[in-house]
Amino acid sequence: MTTSTIDSAEESKHQPSSGKKNQVQGGLLDPKMLWKALPDALVKLDPRTLWRNPVMFIVEVGAVWSTILAILSPSWFAWLTVFWLWLTVVFANLAEAVAEGRGKAQAETLRKTKADTMARRLTGWESGVPGREEEVAAPLLRQGDIVVVEAGQVIPGDGDVVEGIASVDESAITGESAPVIRESGGDRSAVTGGTTVLSDRIVVKITQKPGESFIDRMITLVEGANRQKTPNEIALNILLAALTVIFIFAVATLQPLAIFSKANNPGVPDTLSLTTNGVSGIVMVSLLVCLIPTTIGALLSAIGIAGMDRLVQRNVLAMSGRAVEAAGDVNTLLLDKTGTITLGNRQASDFVPLSGVTNEQLADAAQLSSLADETPEGRSIVVFAKSNFGLRARTPGELVNAEWVEFTATTRMSGVNLDNGHLLRKGAASSVADWVRGEGGTVPTELGIIVDGISAGGGTPLVVGQVVDGKAEVLGVIHLKDVVKQGMRERFDEMRKMGIRTVMITGDNPLTAKAIADEAGVDDFLAEATPEDKLALIKREQEGGKLVAMTGDGTNDAPALAQADVGVAMNTGTSAAKEAGNMVDLDSDPTKLIEIVEIGKQLLITRGALTTFSIANDIAKYFAIIPAMFVALFPGLDLLNIMRLHSPQSAILSAVIFNAIVIVALIPLSLRGVRYTPSSASKLLSRNLYIYGLGGIIAPFIGIKLIDLVIQFLPGM
C-alpha cells in the first residue's frame, strides 16, 4: 500500500472541501454565476429535456396552458401569474445549470489538453523488434498500442509503463506540484494521459479504450453530462411523480365543485371562485404548482451533481453516482494500517539487550548492521544509537572490505560481514534465531518473552545476532514503533456514532495488530491479511446485508476492490486496481476513504432535508390559496385565512411568487450541502424534522405575507 500522511485527521471533517485547484465555494449565491448559467437554463426549457423531471414538466405544461388562457382573457393578475409560473420553471433549470456550469471551465481545459497531445507510437515493439516510430494524435490511440514518452513530453493516454523509469508531473490531474516516480513493474507502473514526463524515458502500453480514458471520465464527471440517476434518486422521482398525479386529480375536482356550489348559491358574486372564464384555469394551475413538491423537484438534480462535485474538489473521481450514494450507506469500513491509521514509517524507540549483553554492545551492533540500510527504519536505528548511546556517526565507506547483506523477502534479515570474521544480522525474530542456530549458537527462551512483549505492545521487534570468533549468539531486540496518526481515535469514534464498523487490515502478526487496533480505537482487525482474506471478509460482511468500503492500490487488491460496494483505488496504483474500483483518489491518500463516506452521507442528508422542507412548504401554501379561492362561496373559510392576506388575487399571486423565489434561495444550500455532524440516525432525523420540517412550515407564512404586503398595491390586486 502506498503510504501517505495528513497534517491533521480533523481537517475539514465536517465540510469536505479541498484547498486544491478548481475548488468553488458553492455556498455563495454569486449573481455572475447565475447570469452565466441563465442561457443553459433557457435551453433546458425544451420539453424533450424537461420531461425527465416529471414535476417540472407538469409546471411547464401548466405555464403553457396559463399563457394561452392569459392571451384569451388578459388581465394584470393573469399575466403576472403566468410570468412567475415561467420563472418557476426557469429557476428550476437554473439550479441544475449552475451545478453543471461549475465544472465546465475545468472540462474545457482537460478537453484541450487531450486534443492537442500527439503520441509517438511504436510498431513491432512487443515482438522484440525496435520497429518504426510514427506520430499520431492522442485520441486515435487504441488499447494495446505502445508509445514512447521522453522528458518534456505529455503522456498521450492511460497505460502501464513496460520499460524504463521516469519522474512525472501529475499536477494537471491531481493539482499537486510534487513530481512522482513511475516505473515498469510493481504498483507504480500506471500513468495517466495528460500528465508530463519530467525526466528520462519510458515506454507505455495503452490500456484505455477510445473515449474511456481518465480525462474523458473526468470531463463527463465535472460537466455533469449524461449523469445517470442513482437508485435513491430514481425512487424519490417516482414518489414525487406519484404525489404530482394525486394533486392533479385533486385539483381537477375543484372546478366542478365550484360550479356546483355557485349553482346552489346564485347570489354569490363572480370573483375568483373558479368560475370566471380564463382566470379559473390559471388559478387551478397556480394551486397545482404550489401544492406539488416543486422545490425538491427543481433541486433534486442539482443536489446529485453537487455531491459529485464535492468529490472532485477533494480530488476523488467517482465512476458513478451510485458509488457516492453507497458511500453514504456504508456499514463497514476496511482500512489499511500502514499510511492510513499509522504514519507508516516505523521508528526505533528502544534497544532491549539479553542477559549478559550491555546496552552499548547492542547499540553498536544495531548501528553497524544498519549503516547500509536506507529504509526509514534503518536510518532511525542509526540515529537512535548515535543520539541515545553517544556513538559517533559512521558511514558504510569507513568499513573497508565489508560485505553488506541486503534484506530479501526470503531471508527476512539484513546485515554486514566484516573483514575480521565478525558477522552481524538484524531482522525478523524467527529468521535471526534460525541463522544463529545454523551458525552453531543457541537461542535463549528470554528472547521469546521480549519479542512477545514488544508485539503485544503494538511494536515491531527486530532481533540482532552476531558471530564472533566462531561463536553465534543473540544480542537483543530493537523495538520499532509504528506511530498512530494524531486524531484517528476521534475519527473512529465519529464513525461509530454514524453506525459504521471499522476494520483495520494489516500484514502484522495478531499481537501487534491488536495493540495498534486498541490504540487507534478501531472496532476489529484482520492480521496477516492476504488478498484472499480481504475478499473473504468483504463477502462475509455483505452476506449479512452490509455495505462495505475499502481502499487499495495493487493488482492483488483488485478482486477485493471489485467486490466492495465502495472501492477506492489509489491513483499511484496499478491500472487493474483503478479499473476494479468505482472511485479513484488522485491524491493517493488512503485516509480519504473516511471523508468519502462523510460526503456520501452529506449527499443523502441534503436530499432528505430539502425533501422535508419542500413538502412542509405545501402546508403554508394551502392556507394561503384554498381560503382565498373559496371564501366567496363559503364565508366560513375566512377563519383559515390566518395570514389575513389582502385579497384572493394577492394571496394566490403571493404563493406563486414565493414558490419560485424559494427555489433560487435554496440553490446555495443544494450546492454546498447540509452540514453533516456524526450522530445516530434517530438524532439526524429529529434535527432535520426540527430545522427543515418546522422551518419549511414557518418560512412560507412569513414569506407569503411579506410578498402580499408589497403586491397589494399592484393593479388588479
Binding residues, by number, are 373, 377, 407-414, 426, 553, 557
For helices 294-313 and 592-630, the axis angle rounded to 10 degrees is 160
How open is the CA angle 92-88-37, to the nearest 5 degrees?
A: 45
**Nine cell digits for residue 24:** 468553488
Bridge partners (DSSP) of residue 262 are none
Element (H, E) at 491: helix 488-497
**Nine cell digits for residue 465:** 545476532
Q: Measured between alpha carbons, how far is 277 from 280 in angstroms, rounded to an integer?
A: 6
Q: Are 619 and 697 in contact (CB under 8 A)?
A: yes
DSSP string, 277-335: TTHHHHHHHHHHHHHS-HHHHHHHHHHHHHHHHHHHHTTEEES-HHHHHHHHT--EEEE
Active-site hit among 336, 482, 508, 708: 336
Q: Are 484 and 345 in contact (CB under 8 A)?
A: no
Residue 422 phi/psi, 5-degree rounding, is: -80, 115
Residue 631 phi/psi, 5-degree rounding, is: -65, -30
**Nine cell digits for residue 180:** 512522482
For the sheet containing 347-353, what is the strand order?
Answer: 347-353, 471-481, 459-468, 423-427, 413-417, 403-405
**Nine cell digits for residue 638:** 375566512
**Nine cell digits for residue 576:** 487493474
Q: Measured between alpha carbons, how far is 507 from 590 in angstroms, rounded to an integer?
A: 16
Residues belonging to the chain: 717
Q: Half-sphere exposure (CA, 13 Å, Cβ side) for 310?
A: 33
Residue type, 229: K
**Nine cell digits for residue 575:** 491500472
Binding site for ATP: which residues? 373, 377, 407-414, 426
Residue 664 phi/psi, 5-degree rounding, is: -65, -40
CA dihedral of 74, 76, 79, 81, whole degrees rounded to 10:
-130
As a whole number of angstroms, the longest Cα–Cα distance in the chain is: 125
Residue type, 57: F
Q: Measured between alpha carbons, how far is 376 from 318 in angstroms, rounded to an integer?
A: 34
Q: Measured between alpha carbons, how far is 708 from 717 in angstroms, rounded to an integer?
A: 10
Tell me if residue 493 is catalytic. no
Q: Can you say whether residue 408 is alpha, beta or left, with left for phi > 0 and alpha for psi between -120 and 50 degrees?
A: beta
- Residues with catalytic roles: 336
